[in-house]
Amino acid sequence: MAALLRVSAPAKINLCLEVLGQRADGYHEIRTIMQAVSLFDELSFSVRSDGRIVLHASGAGLPAPKDNLVVQAARLLKEECGCAKGADIELVKNIPVGGGLGGGSSDCAETLCALGDLWDLGLSSEHLAGLAARLGSDVPFFISGGTALCEGRGERVSALHAEGTFHYVLVMPPERISTGQAYAAIEGSLTTSRRAGRIEDVQAALATMDARRLGAALYNDLEVVAFRLNPRVRCVHQTFVLACPRVECLGLSLSGSGSSLFGVFDSHERARKAAVQLAGELEVPTLAVHSVPRRQEHCQRLPGSEDNRP
């Protein structure tokens, strides 16, 4: 495919996640601080003049093209704007599917932004965010990325100031935990006592670039049920906890409903060394990553006809 636009779609982690209760619409009311990190899916786009949306995807665990959020995003954009153009889309999947890292939502948001640009639709960030909310709870966060407080079912996004770069090790067990099952099981496990004031601690740590304080403030209301639903992930977590002093990890948590875990480190070098050591001890994929800033116009437009496909 002769690409005209290439983008990188980052993963996210949840530095804190409060589940406040079930809403009348069946969703759960949440408060979470999400941060984009340097594990990326790669997408390429080119315009088709016949109006078709064609997805070429590679990677493990991907849904059928018609069920992929990338295709759903492109079709929604066409319908919303009455656009006659189509697109060939190539997706290289590096973020684990169903691991709590938001890869599908990130791909979806980047598709909205990239095709909005490639099709010259002139959409505002607010319009894109509104479309994103119709596609998934995490999608609006990725329209701007960076670090943000997300509320409601996740669609109300408020950017946060995060001074400097934070370093993490992602631990990615292959087991998958259903988000729906995790939320369905949460009701009897909710408690407010252990999280009182911790969202403010996370915000303060981000603002002051205090990795130690951030590590101590991490929490996730879904951890209890996620570990109950998948004992293998609980075992990986317990082994990670025991390894923390040796690898100089400052704190760890579950991302989303799992199964991915992450630990906080005070430097890239410590995170890199820990990722190598933990890979051997935990026997699951690990990766040193860092926080990435708010989404910029990082698309790469390449020369060529915008109607290079039939």
Q: Name the CATH superfamily, with its identifier, for domain 167-290.
A: GHMP kinase, C-terminal domain (3.30.70.890)
* pLDDT grade for 216, boundaries at 50, 70 and 90: very high
pLDDT of residue 192: 52
pLDDT tens for 265-292 read 999 999 999 999 999 999 999 999 999 9
Alpha helical stretches, state H, the chain: 69-81, 103-118, 125-135, 139-144, 179-185, 198-208, 211-217, 223-229, 231-247, 268-282
Average pLDDT for residues 175-188, to the nearest whole number? 81
Q: Which of 42-46, 90-94, 283-287, 298-302 has the lowest mean pLDDT?
A: 298-302
Mean pLDDT over 39-61 rounds to 93
Average pLDDT in the chain: 89
Q: What is the CATH number of domain 5-159?
A: 3.30.230.10
Please state, in angstroms and rounded to a whole number, the distance separating the CA atoms of residues 14 and 33: 6
For the chain, the structural domain boundaries read 5-159, 167-290
Residues 224-265: tens digit of each pLDDT: 999 999 999 999 999 999 999 999 999 999 999 989 999 999
Longest dimension (CA), the chain: 60
Supply the pTM of this predicted model: 0.91
Residue 69 Rama label (left phi>0; alpha psi -120 to 50; beta): alpha
Contacts of 257 (CB under 8 A, 6+ apart): 100, 177, 178, 179, 182, 183, 222, 226
8 A C-beta contact, residue 307 and residue 87: no
The three-point CA angle 10-105-89 to 5° equals 80
261-265: strand order across its sheet = 252-254, 261-265, 167-171, 286-290
- At residue 83, what are phi and psi to the nearest 5 degrees? -85, 130
HSE at residue 263, side-chain half, CA atoms within 13 A, is 33
The DSSP output letter for 309 is B
Long-range contacts, 236-241 (Cβ 8 Å, 24+): 236/171, 236/173, 236/261, 236/282, 236/284, 237/261, 239/281, 239/282, 240/171, 240/278, 240/282
Give me the pLDDT at residue 226, please.
93
pLDDT category of residue 93 using cuts at 50, 70 and 90? very high
Q: Lowest-pLDDT range, 56-70, 84-98, 196-210, 289-303?
A: 289-303
Catalytic residue numbers read 12, 138
